Protein backbone atom coordinates (compact mmCIF):
# COMPACT_ATOMS: atom_id res chain seq x y z
CA UNK A 1 0.00 0.00 0.00
CA UNK A 2 2.89 2.37 0.71
CA UNK A 3 3.75 3.20 -2.92
CA UNK A 4 0.15 4.23 -3.51
CA UNK A 5 -0.06 6.52 -0.47
CA UNK A 6 0.12 9.80 -2.39
CA UNK A 7 -2.45 8.74 -4.99
CA UNK A 8 -4.89 7.35 -2.42
CA UNK A 9 -4.54 10.36 -0.21
CA UNK A 10 -5.35 12.65 -3.16
CA UNK A 11 -8.45 10.60 -3.95
CA UNK A 12 -9.49 10.61 -0.31
CA UNK A 13 -9.14 14.39 -0.03
CA UNK A 14 -11.14 14.79 -3.23
CA UNK A 15 -13.73 12.40 -1.82
CA UNK A 16 -13.94 14.30 1.45
CA UNK A 17 -14.89 17.42 -0.48
CA UNK A 18 -17.52 15.49 -2.46
CA UNK A 19 -15.78 14.12 -5.61
CA UNK A 20 -17.66 10.87 -6.28
CA UNK A 21 -15.53 9.66 -9.18
CA UNK A 22 -12.30 9.88 -7.19
CA UNK A 23 -14.03 8.35 -4.19
CA UNK A 24 -15.40 5.28 -5.96
CA UNK A 25 -12.02 4.72 -7.62
CA UNK A 26 -10.47 4.85 -4.15
CA UNK A 27 -12.98 2.42 -2.64
CA UNK A 28 -12.48 -0.02 -5.52
CA UNK A 29 -8.70 0.05 -5.00
CA UNK A 30 -9.05 -0.31 -1.25
CA UNK A 31 -11.44 -3.20 -1.82
CA UNK A 32 -8.67 -5.06 -3.64
CA UNK A 33 -6.12 -4.45 -0.89
CA UNK A 34 -8.61 -5.38 1.82
CA UNK A 35 -9.59 -8.60 0.05
CA UNK A 36 -5.97 -9.73 -0.01
CA UNK A 37 -5.44 -8.59 3.59
CA UNK A 38 -8.46 -10.45 4.99
CA UNK A 39 -8.15 -13.53 2.77
CA UNK A 40 -4.72 -14.21 4.25
CA UNK A 41 -6.15 -13.96 7.74
CA UNK A 42 -9.67 -15.33 7.91
CA UNK A 43 -10.40 -17.40 4.81
CA UNK A 44 -14.10 -17.82 4.12
CA UNK A 45 -15.60 -14.65 5.62
CA UNK A 46 -13.12 -12.36 3.88
CA UNK A 47 -15.62 -10.69 1.57
CA UNK A 48 -17.90 -9.87 4.50
CA UNK A 49 -15.03 -8.16 6.27
CA UNK A 50 -14.11 -6.30 3.09
CA UNK A 51 -17.62 -4.89 2.91
CA UNK A 52 -17.82 -4.14 6.59
CA UNK A 53 -14.51 -2.28 6.41
CA UNK A 54 -15.56 -0.30 3.33
CA UNK A 55 -18.72 0.78 5.16
CA UNK A 56 -16.63 1.72 8.19
CA UNK A 57 -14.24 3.74 6.02
CA UNK A 58 -17.25 5.49 4.53
CA UNK A 59 -19.11 6.29 7.75
CA UNK A 60 -15.95 7.30 9.62
CA UNK A 61 -14.29 9.19 6.77
CA UNK A 62 -14.53 12.52 8.60
CA UNK A 63 -12.08 11.25 11.23
CA UNK A 64 -9.21 11.03 8.74
CA UNK A 65 -6.61 13.67 9.61
CA UNK A 66 -4.97 14.86 6.33
CA UNK A 67 -1.76 15.53 8.26
CA UNK A 68 -1.36 11.77 8.85
CA UNK A 69 -0.70 8.93 6.38
CA UNK A 70 -3.92 7.74 4.75
CA UNK A 71 -2.83 4.11 4.40
CA UNK A 72 -2.17 3.94 8.15
CA UNK A 73 -5.68 5.23 8.80
CA UNK A 74 -7.18 2.55 6.55
CA UNK A 75 -4.98 -0.11 8.08
CA UNK A 76 -6.11 0.89 11.57
CA UNK A 77 -9.74 0.40 10.60
CA UNK A 78 -9.08 -2.89 8.79
CA UNK A 79 -7.12 -4.24 11.75
CA UNK A 80 -9.90 -3.17 14.11
CA UNK A 81 -12.53 -4.96 12.03
CA UNK A 82 -10.33 -8.05 11.87
CA UNK A 83 -9.80 -8.17 15.63
CA UNK A 84 -13.51 -7.51 16.18
CA UNK A 85 -14.34 -10.47 13.95
CA UNK A 86 -11.91 -12.71 15.80
CA UNK A 87 -13.44 -11.73 19.10
CA UNK A 88 -16.88 -12.43 17.71
CA UNK A 89 -15.77 -15.89 16.60
CA UNK A 90 -14.21 -16.62 19.95
CA UNK A 91 -17.40 -15.61 21.70
CA UNK A 92 -19.36 -17.81 19.34
CA UNK A 93 -17.09 -20.73 20.24
CA UNK A 94 -17.48 -20.22 23.98
CA UNK A 95 -21.20 -19.57 23.79
CA UNK A 96 -21.81 -23.21 22.86
CA UNK A 97 -20.20 -24.34 26.12
CA UNK A 98 -22.08 -21.90 28.30
CA UNK A 99 -25.27 -22.80 26.51
CA UNK A 100 -25.07 -26.48 27.44
CA UNK A 101 -27.59 -26.30 30.32
CA UNK A 102 -29.72 -23.98 28.20
CA UNK A 103 -29.96 -26.60 25.46
CA UNK A 104 -31.89 -28.96 27.70
CA UNK A 105 -33.81 -26.32 29.59
CA UNK A 106 -35.88 -25.43 26.56
CA UNK A 107 -37.73 -27.29 23.88
CA UNK A 108 -37.44 -26.10 20.29
CA UNK A 109 -41.17 -26.53 19.70
CA UNK A 110 -41.97 -23.74 22.14
CA UNK A 111 -43.39 -20.83 20.21
CA UNK A 112 -42.25 -18.46 22.90
CA UNK A 113 -38.69 -19.51 22.19
CA UNK A 114 -38.76 -17.64 18.90
CA UNK A 115 -39.00 -14.25 20.52
CA UNK A 116 -36.27 -15.06 22.98
CA UNK A 117 -34.06 -16.27 20.16
CA UNK A 118 -34.54 -13.05 18.23
CA UNK A 119 -33.46 -10.99 21.23
CA UNK A 120 -30.53 -13.33 21.81
CA UNK A 121 -29.44 -12.94 18.20
CA UNK A 122 -29.83 -9.19 18.30
CA UNK A 123 -27.64 -9.06 21.39
CA UNK A 124 -24.74 -10.21 19.23
CA UNK A 125 -24.80 -7.02 17.19
CA UNK A 126 -23.04 -3.82 18.24
CA UNK A 127 -25.53 -1.42 19.90
CA UNK A 128 -25.95 0.93 16.94
CA UNK A 129 -26.62 -1.87 14.46
CA UNK A 130 -28.93 -3.57 16.92
CA UNK A 131 -31.05 -0.46 17.32
CA UNK A 132 -31.30 -0.03 13.55
CA UNK A 133 -32.38 -3.63 12.96
CA UNK A 134 -34.90 -3.49 15.77
CA UNK A 135 -36.41 -0.24 14.52
CA UNK A 136 -36.59 -1.21 10.86
CA UNK A 137 -37.26 -4.94 11.01
CA UNK A 138 -39.19 -5.39 14.25
CA UNK A 139 -40.91 -2.08 14.87
CA UNK A 140 -41.57 -1.48 11.19
CA UNK A 141 -40.13 2.00 10.99
CA UNK A 142 -39.06 3.24 7.57
CA UNK A 143 -35.47 3.63 6.40
CA UNK A 144 -36.10 7.36 6.00
CA UNK A 145 -37.38 7.73 9.57
CA UNK A 146 -34.37 5.90 10.96
CA UNK A 147 -31.97 7.95 8.85
CA UNK A 148 -33.60 11.07 10.26
CA UNK A 149 -33.46 9.78 13.82
CA UNK A 150 -29.85 8.61 13.75
CA UNK A 151 -28.37 11.29 11.52
CA UNK A 152 -26.98 8.63 9.18
CA UNK A 153 -27.77 8.72 5.47
CA UNK A 154 -30.51 6.46 4.09
CA UNK A 155 -28.00 4.42 2.12
CA UNK A 156 -25.93 3.70 5.19
CA UNK A 157 -29.03 2.71 7.18
CA UNK A 158 -30.23 0.45 4.36
CA UNK A 159 -26.84 -1.19 3.84
CA UNK A 160 -26.21 -1.59 7.56
CA UNK A 161 -29.57 -3.25 8.23
CA UNK A 162 -29.18 -5.49 5.19
CA UNK A 163 -25.73 -6.63 6.27
CA UNK A 164 -26.70 -7.03 9.92
CA UNK A 165 -29.64 -9.25 9.02
CA UNK A 166 -27.40 -11.26 6.72
CA UNK A 167 -24.81 -11.76 9.43
CA UNK A 168 -27.54 -12.82 11.85
CA UNK A 169 -28.70 -15.35 9.28
CA UNK A 170 -25.20 -16.80 9.15
CA UNK A 171 -25.04 -16.79 12.91
CA UNK A 172 -28.28 -18.76 13.00
CA UNK A 173 -26.97 -21.20 10.41
CA UNK A 174 -23.85 -21.89 12.45
CA UNK A 175 -25.89 -22.25 15.63
CA UNK A 176 -28.02 -24.91 13.93
CA UNK A 177 -24.95 -26.79 12.72
CA UNK A 178 -23.56 -26.72 16.22
CA UNK A 179 -26.78 -28.13 17.59
CA UNK A 180 -26.84 -30.84 14.95
CA UNK A 181 -23.39 -32.03 16.00
CA UNK A 182 -24.46 -32.32 19.61
CA UNK B 1 -24.94 -7.59 -2.00
CA UNK B 2 -21.84 -7.59 -4.15
CA UNK B 3 -18.90 -5.44 -3.19
CA UNK B 4 -19.07 -3.52 -6.48
CA UNK B 5 -22.70 -2.64 -5.78
CA UNK B 6 -21.81 -1.61 -2.26
CA UNK B 7 -19.08 0.70 -3.54
CA UNK B 8 -21.54 2.25 -6.00
CA UNK B 9 -24.04 2.77 -3.17
CA UNK B 10 -21.46 4.33 -0.89
CA UNK B 11 -20.19 6.63 -3.63
CA UNK B 12 -23.74 7.76 -4.40
CA UNK B 13 -24.14 8.46 -0.73
CA UNK B 14 -21.06 10.67 -0.62
CA UNK B 15 -21.51 14.15 0.82
CA UNK B 16 -18.70 16.59 1.64
CA UNK B 17 -17.65 16.26 5.27
CA UNK B 18 -17.82 19.34 7.50
CA UNK B 19 -14.47 20.98 8.18
CA UNK B 20 -12.90 20.12 11.56
CA UNK B 21 -15.47 17.42 12.21
CA UNK B 22 -13.48 15.76 15.00
CA UNK B 23 -12.88 19.09 16.73
CA UNK B 24 -16.55 19.96 16.58
CA UNK B 25 -17.72 16.65 17.96
CA UNK B 26 -15.23 16.84 20.81
CA UNK B 27 -16.08 20.46 21.56
CA UNK B 28 -19.71 19.46 21.82
CA UNK B 29 -18.91 16.55 24.16
CA UNK B 30 -16.62 18.74 26.24
CA UNK B 31 -19.09 21.62 26.55
CA UNK B 32 -21.96 19.31 27.35
CA UNK B 33 -19.85 17.41 29.90
CA UNK B 34 -18.79 20.55 31.77
CA UNK B 35 -22.32 21.94 31.71
CA UNK B 36 -24.06 18.79 32.97
CA UNK B 37 -21.41 18.04 35.60
CA UNK B 38 -21.63 21.63 36.85
CA UNK B 39 -25.41 21.36 37.10
CA UNK B 40 -25.07 18.12 39.06
CA UNK B 41 -22.51 19.66 41.41
CA UNK B 42 -24.65 22.77 42.01
CA UNK B 43 -27.78 20.70 42.58
CA UNK B 44 -26.26 17.99 44.78
CA UNK B 45 -23.47 19.80 46.66
CA UNK B 46 -23.41 23.51 45.93
CA UNK B 47 -20.32 25.72 45.55
CA UNK B 48 -18.08 26.29 48.56
CA UNK B 49 -19.48 29.19 50.61
CA UNK B 50 -16.19 31.10 50.57
CA UNK B 51 -15.64 30.74 46.83
CA UNK B 52 -14.98 34.43 46.12
CA UNK B 53 -12.39 34.61 48.90
CA UNK B 54 -10.78 31.35 47.81
CA UNK B 55 -10.45 32.63 44.26
CA UNK B 56 -8.13 35.35 45.52
CA UNK B 57 -5.68 32.80 46.89
CA UNK B 58 -3.19 30.61 45.01
CA UNK B 59 -4.29 27.21 46.35
CA UNK B 60 -7.61 27.29 44.51
CA UNK B 61 -5.94 28.03 41.19
CA UNK B 62 -3.24 25.45 41.73
CA UNK B 63 -5.93 22.83 42.30
CA UNK B 64 -7.90 23.95 39.24
CA UNK B 65 -4.79 24.09 37.04
CA UNK B 66 -3.95 20.55 38.12
CA UNK B 67 -7.37 19.10 37.27
CA UNK B 68 -7.69 21.10 34.05
CA UNK B 69 -4.31 19.82 32.89
CA UNK B 70 -5.64 16.27 33.27
CA UNK B 71 -8.76 17.20 31.31
CA UNK B 72 -6.61 18.79 28.59
CA UNK B 73 -4.33 15.77 28.29
CA UNK B 74 -7.34 13.44 28.27
CA UNK B 75 -8.85 15.52 25.49
CA UNK B 76 -5.60 15.30 23.55
CA UNK B 77 -5.57 11.51 23.96
CA UNK B 78 -9.17 11.22 22.80
CA UNK B 79 -8.50 13.46 19.82
CA UNK B 80 -5.62 11.20 18.76
CA UNK B 81 -7.20 7.85 19.58
CA UNK B 82 -10.50 8.79 17.94
CA UNK B 83 -8.79 8.73 14.55
CA UNK B 84 -8.03 5.09 13.81
CA UNK B 85 -4.34 4.25 13.69
CA UNK B 86 -2.72 6.85 15.96
CA UNK B 87 -0.67 6.88 19.11
CA UNK B 88 -1.39 8.75 22.33
CA UNK B 89 2.01 8.14 23.84
CA UNK B 90 2.88 11.83 23.97
CA UNK B 91 -0.17 13.12 25.86
CA UNK B 92 0.07 10.13 28.19
CA UNK B 93 3.74 10.91 28.91
CA UNK B 94 2.90 14.57 29.51
CA UNK B 95 0.73 13.49 32.46
CA UNK B 96 3.98 13.22 34.39
CA UNK B 97 4.46 17.00 34.21
CA UNK B 98 1.52 18.11 36.42
CA UNK B 99 2.02 15.12 38.69
CA UNK B 100 5.71 15.84 39.28
CA UNK B 101 5.10 19.59 39.73
CA UNK B 102 2.43 18.96 42.32
CA UNK B 103 4.61 16.32 43.97
CA UNK B 104 7.35 18.92 44.48
CA UNK B 105 4.87 21.37 46.04
CA UNK B 106 3.46 18.56 48.17
CA UNK B 107 6.91 17.61 49.51
CA UNK B 108 7.74 21.23 50.31
CA UNK B 109 4.44 21.66 52.16
CA UNK B 110 4.71 18.35 53.96
CA UNK B 111 8.15 19.09 55.45
CA UNK B 112 7.27 22.56 56.66
CA UNK B 113 8.10 22.72 60.39
CA UNK B 114 5.32 22.65 62.96
CA UNK B 115 2.53 21.47 60.69
CA UNK B 116 -0.26 18.95 61.23
CA UNK B 117 0.88 16.40 58.68
CA UNK B 118 -2.01 14.06 59.14
CA UNK B 119 -4.47 16.81 58.37
CA UNK B 120 -2.38 17.96 55.44
CA UNK B 121 -2.79 14.58 53.74
CA UNK B 122 -6.28 13.63 54.90
CA UNK B 123 -7.93 17.04 55.13
CA UNK B 124 -11.53 16.99 56.34
CA UNK B 125 -12.97 15.17 53.35
CA UNK B 126 -10.63 12.38 52.26
CA UNK B 127 -13.40 9.85 52.73
CA UNK B 128 -15.64 11.44 50.12
CA UNK B 129 -13.29 13.29 47.78
CA UNK B 130 -12.49 10.60 45.21
CA UNK B 131 -16.04 9.20 45.29
CA UNK B 132 -17.52 12.68 44.87
CA UNK B 133 -15.23 13.36 41.92
CA UNK B 134 -16.40 10.12 40.31
CA UNK B 135 -20.03 11.03 40.93
CA UNK B 136 -19.66 14.52 39.46
CA UNK B 137 -17.85 12.95 36.49
CA UNK B 138 -20.77 10.74 35.50
CA UNK B 139 -22.55 13.24 33.21
CA UNK B 140 -19.21 14.24 31.66
CA UNK B 141 -18.45 10.54 31.21
CA UNK B 142 -21.63 10.02 29.22
CA UNK B 143 -21.04 13.14 27.10
CA UNK B 144 -17.42 12.24 26.33
CA UNK B 145 -18.25 8.64 25.41
CA UNK B 146 -21.10 9.85 23.24
CA UNK B 147 -18.63 12.07 21.36
CA UNK B 148 -15.98 9.37 21.07
CA UNK B 149 -18.51 6.93 19.62
CA UNK B 150 -18.97 9.33 16.72
CA UNK B 151 -15.26 9.00 15.93
CA UNK B 152 -13.25 5.92 14.93
CA UNK B 153 -11.39 4.56 17.97
CA UNK B 154 -9.53 1.38 17.04
CA UNK B 155 -7.65 0.83 20.31
CA UNK B 156 -10.66 0.66 22.51
CA UNK B 157 -9.00 0.18 25.90
CA UNK B 158 -6.63 3.11 25.46
CA UNK B 159 -9.34 5.30 23.97
CA UNK B 160 -11.63 4.40 26.87
CA UNK B 161 -8.89 5.28 29.36
CA UNK B 162 -8.34 8.65 27.63
CA UNK B 163 -12.06 9.36 27.63
CA UNK B 164 -12.30 8.39 31.30
CA UNK B 165 -9.37 10.66 32.10
CA UNK B 166 -11.04 13.54 30.27
CA UNK B 167 -14.32 12.95 32.08
CA UNK B 168 -12.50 12.63 35.41
CA UNK B 169 -10.60 15.87 34.70
CA UNK B 170 -13.87 17.64 33.97
CA UNK B 171 -15.50 16.21 37.10
CA UNK B 172 -12.54 17.11 39.32
CA UNK B 173 -12.40 20.65 37.89
CA UNK B 174 -16.08 21.13 38.64
CA UNK B 175 -15.66 19.56 42.08
CA UNK B 176 -12.84 22.05 42.85
CA UNK B 177 -15.53 24.75 43.09
CA UNK B 178 -17.23 22.80 45.87
CA UNK B 179 -14.31 21.34 47.81
CA UNK B 180 -12.54 23.46 50.44
CA UNK B 181 -9.32 21.42 50.66
CA UNK B 182 -6.25 23.37 49.70
CA UNK B 183 -3.11 21.37 50.51
CA UNK B 184 -0.97 19.88 47.75
CA UNK B 185 -0.61 16.43 49.38
CA UNK B 186 -4.39 16.14 49.63
CA UNK B 187 -4.92 17.09 45.98
CA UNK B 188 -2.08 14.85 44.84
CA UNK B 189 -3.56 11.79 46.51
CA UNK B 190 -7.32 12.17 46.44
CA UNK B 191 -7.91 14.23 43.29
CA UNK B 192 -5.45 12.12 41.32
CA UNK B 193 -7.11 9.03 42.76
CA UNK B 194 -10.57 10.13 41.63
CA UNK B 195 -9.39 10.98 38.13
CA UNK B 196 -7.36 7.76 37.82
CA UNK B 197 -10.39 5.74 38.90
CA UNK B 198 -12.41 7.43 36.18
CA UNK B 199 -9.73 6.52 33.61
CA UNK B 200 -9.72 2.90 34.83
CA UNK B 201 -13.49 2.67 34.57
CA UNK B 202 -13.29 4.13 31.08
CA UNK B 203 -10.78 1.49 30.06
CA UNK B 204 -12.87 -1.22 31.71
CA UNK B 205 -16.13 -0.47 29.91
CA UNK B 206 -14.51 0.44 26.58
CA UNK B 207 -15.07 -2.93 24.84
CA UNK B 208 -18.73 -2.68 25.54
CA UNK B 209 -19.24 1.09 25.30
CA UNK B 210 -17.08 1.91 22.29
CA UNK B 211 -17.54 -1.07 19.98
CA UNK B 212 -18.62 -0.13 16.47
What's the pLDDT score for residue A182? 36
Lowest mean pLDDT, pick from A105-114, B105-114, B167-176, B188-197: A105-114
Give the one of A75, A128, A163 whose C-beta lies nearest to B212's C-beta.
Answer: A128
Residue A129's pLDDT band (cuts 50, 70, 90):
confident
Mean pLDDT of the residues in chain A: 80
Q: Which of B13, B79, B147 to mutate to test the interface with A (most CBs of A within 10 A)?
A: B13
All residues of chain A having their beta carbon less than 8 Å from the beta carbon of residue B3 are 31, 47, 50-51, 54
CB contact under 8 A, A73 and B22: no
Chain A residues touching B87 at Cβ < 8 A: none
Higher pLDDT, A131 or B127: B127
pLDDT tens digits for range A135-159:
888 777 888 888 888 878 888 888 8
Work out the minimum CA distance from B6 to partner chain A, whole angstroms: 7
Nearest-by-CA chain B residue for A155: B13
Is A73 within 8 Å of B84 when comparing Cβ atoms? Answer: yes
pLDDT for the residue numbered A133 = 84
Q: What is the pLDDT of residue A173?
A: 67
Picking from A26, A155, A81, A156, the residue whose alpha carbon sits closest to that of residue B84 is A81
Position A178 pLDDT exceeds 50? no
Q: Check residues A3 and A163 and name the one with the higher pLDDT.
A: A163
Chain A residues closer than 8 Å to B16 by CB: 16-18
Q: For residue A17, what is the nearest residue in chain B, using CA coordinates? A: B16
Percentage of residues of chain B with pLDDT beyond 70: 100
- Residue A115: pLDDT band by 50, 70, 90 thresholds? low
Contacts of A16 in chain B (CB under 8 A): 16-17
**pLDDT (tens digit, 9 = 90+) per residue, A29-56?**
999 999 999 998 886 778 999 999 999 9
Contacts of B27 (CB under 8 A, 6+ apart): none
In A, what residues contact B, Cβ < 8 A?
Answer: 15-18, 20, 23-24, 27-28, 31, 47, 50-51, 54-56, 58, 60-65, 68, 72-77, 79-80, 84, 126-128, 153-156, 158-159, 162-163
CB contact under 8 A, B14 and A20: yes
Check whether A11 has a pLDDT greater than 70: yes
Q: How does residue A164 score in pLDDT terms, banded at 50, 70 and 90?
A: confident
Secondary structure of chain B as H, E, C letters: CCHHHHHHHHHHCCCCCCCCHHHHHHHHHHHHHHHHHHHHHHHHCCCCCCHHHHCCCHHHHHHHHHHHHHHHHHHHHHHHHCECCCCCHHHHHHCHHHHHHHHHHHHHHHCCCCCCHHHHHHCCCHHHHHHHHHHHHHHHHHHHHHHHHCCECCCHHHHHHHHHHHHHHHHHHHHCCCCCCCCHHHHHHHHHHHHHHHHHHHHHHHHHHCCC
A-chain CB neighbours of B157 within 8 Å are none
Q: How confident is the model at residue A181 (pLDDT cuts 50, 70, 90)?
A: very low
Mean pLDDT of B172-187: 96
Contact yes or no for B211/A84 (Cβ under 8 A): yes
ipTM above 0.85, yes or no: yes
Biggest CA–CA distance in chain A, Å, is 59
**Nearest beta carbon to residue A15 from set B1, B14, B85:** B14
The distance of A15 to chain B (nearest Cα, Å) reads 7
Confidence of residue A111 (pLDDT cuts 50, 70, 90): low
Q: Which residues, including other chains, have CB under 8 Å from residue A51's CB and lie 6 or more apart?
A: A163, B1, B3, B6
pLDDT at res. B153: 96
For B121, other C-beta atoms within 10 Å of its C-beta total 18
pLDDT band at A126 (very low <50, low <70, confident <90, very high): confident
Nearest CA in chain A to B148: A63
- Band (pLDDT 50/70/90 cuts) for residue A180 is very low
The string of pLDDT tens digits covering residues A70-105 is 999 999 999 999 999 888 877 655 544 554 454 455
More confidently predicted of A157 and B30: B30
Q: What is the pLDDT of residues B39-51, one digit of tens each?
A: 999 999 999 999 9
What's the CA gap between B176 and B170, in Å, rounded? 10
Which is higher by pLDDT, B203 or A176?
B203
Amino acid sequence: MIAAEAQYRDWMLAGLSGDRAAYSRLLAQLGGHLRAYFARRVGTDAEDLVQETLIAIHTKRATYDPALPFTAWVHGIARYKLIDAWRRDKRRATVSLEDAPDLFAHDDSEAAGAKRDVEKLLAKLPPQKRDLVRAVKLEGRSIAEEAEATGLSETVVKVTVHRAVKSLGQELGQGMEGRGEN
Amino acid sequence: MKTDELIAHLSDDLTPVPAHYVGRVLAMGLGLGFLLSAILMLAAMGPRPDLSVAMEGGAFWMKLAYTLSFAALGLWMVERLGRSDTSARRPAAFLLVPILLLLIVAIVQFYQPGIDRHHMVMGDSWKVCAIDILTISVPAFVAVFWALRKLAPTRLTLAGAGAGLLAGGIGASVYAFHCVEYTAPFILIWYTGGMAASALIGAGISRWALRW
